[in-house]
Structure 1
Amino acid sequence: MSQPDVTTSGPPPVPEPTPPTRPRPRSWWRVGFYTLTLAIVLWAAVLVPLPYVEYVPGGPTEIEPLLEIEGTETTELDGSASLLTVFLRQQPTLQSLRAAVSDQRRLIPLAQVFPPDVDRDTFFAGQREVFGRQFEIAAVIGAQAAGVETTILSEPVVVSVLPGSPADGVLQPRDVIVAVDGQAVVAAEEIQARTRAGAVGEQIALEVRRGEETIQTSVVLGELPGVDFPAMGISVETAVYDIELPFDVRLASTTRIGGPSAGMMVAVTVYDLLAEEDLLRGRTVLGTGSVDADGRVGPVGGVPEKMLAAAEYGADVVLVPASQLDQALTTAPPDLDVIGVATVEEAIDALRGKGR
Structure 2
Amino acid sequence: MRKKLLISFAVLLAFLLIGGMYYTLPYYVSKPGMAKELAPIIKVENGYRENGNFMLTTIRMGKANIYSYLEAKLRKYDEIYPQHMILSTKETEEEYNVRQLHLMAASKLNAIEVAYRKAGLPVSYDYKGIYVMQVMDSMPAAGKLKPGDRVFKVDGQTFPSSKEFIDYVGSKQAGEKVSLTYSRNDEEDTITLALQPFKDDPQRVGIGISLVDDKEIVVDPEVTIKTDDIGGPSAGLMFSLEIYNQLTKEDFTRGYQIAGTGTIDPDGTVGPIGGIEQKIVAADQAGADIFLAPNEKGAKNSNYRAAVKTGRNINTKMKIIPIDSFDEAVSYLEKLPMKKDR
Query: What is the TM-score of this pair, normalised by structure 1?
Result: 0.61
Whether 1:343 aligns to 2:325 is: yes
Whether 1:353 aligns to 2:326 is: no
SS at match of 1:125: helix
Residues 252 and 345 from structure 1, CA distance in 2 versus in 1: closer, same or farther, beyond 3 angstroms? Answer: closer
- 1:96, CA displacement in angstroms? 1.4
Aligned partner of 1:52 in structure 2 is 27
Whether contact under 8 Å (2:28, 2:62) holds in the other structure is yes
Aligned partner of 1:329 in structure 2 is 308
- 1:297, CA displacement in angstroms? 0.9
Residues 87 and 45 from structure 1, CA distance in 2 versus in 1: closer, same or farther, beyond 3 angstroms? Answer: same
Report sequence identity in percent.
Answer: 25
- Between the aligned partners of 1:39 and 1:242, the Cα distance in structure 2 is 51
Aligned length: 255
Q: Deviations over 1:18-74 (max 9, x none)?
A: xxxxxxxx677876776565445444545533221111222222222222334xx53
Partner residue of 2:38 out of 38, 63, 66 = 63
Larger C-alpha radius of gyration, 1 or 2? 1
- Between the aligned partners of 1:43 and 1:354, the Cα distance in structure 2 is 53
Whether contact under 8 Å (1:52, 1:91) holds in the other structure is yes
Whether 1:267 aligns to 2:240 is: yes
Whether 1:281 aligns to 2:254 is: yes
- Between the aligned partners of 1:301 and 1:311, the Cα distance in structure 2 is 17
Whether 1:303 aligns to 2:285 is: no
Residues 298 and 58 from structure 1, CA distance in 2 versus in 1: closer, same or farther, beyond 3 angstroms? Answer: same
Structure 2: state its 5+ residue gaps. Answer: 128-165, 173-211, 296-301
Amino acid at match of 2:29: E
- Between the aligned partners of 1:136 and 1:52, the Cα distance in structure 2 is 32
Q: Deviations over 1:173-230 (max 9, x none)?
A: xxxxxxxxxxxxxxxxxxxxxxxxxxxxxxxxxxxx6454469xxxxxxxxxxxxxxx
Bigger share in strand: 2
SS at match of 1:65: coil
Amino acid at match of 1:261: S
- Between the aligned partners of 1:280 and 1:124, the Cα distance in structure 2 is 33
Whether 1:137 aligns to 2:110 is: yes
Amino acid at match of 2:105: G
Amino acid at match of 2:284: A
Q: Deviations over 1:128-184 (max 9, x none)?
A: 222122111101101222233446899xxxxxxxxxxxxxxxxxxxxxxxxxxxxxx
- 1:259, CA displacement in angstroms? 1.1
Structure 1: state its 5+ residue gaps. Answer: 1-25, 155-208, 216-238
SS at match of 1:57: strand
- Between the aligned partners of 1:119 and 1:103, the Cα distance in structure 2 is 29
Aligned partner of 1:4 in structure 2 is none
SS at match of 1:56: strand
Amino acid at match of 2:230: I
Q: Kindly report the root-mean-square deviation, in angstroms, between the aligned alpha carbons of the 2 structures.
A: 3.4
SS at match of 1:130: helix
1:16-95 alignment to 2 at 5 Å?
Answer: 38-70=13-45, 74-95=47-68
Whether contact under 8 Å (2:32, 2:78) holds in the other structure is no
Whether contact under 8 Å (2:125, 2:218) holds in the other structure is no
Aligned partner of 2:131 in structure 1 is none
SS at match of 2:40: helix
Aligned partner of 1:124 in structure 2 is 97
Residues 253 and 268 from structure 1, CA distance in 2 versus in 1: closer, same or farther, beyond 3 angstroms? Answer: closer
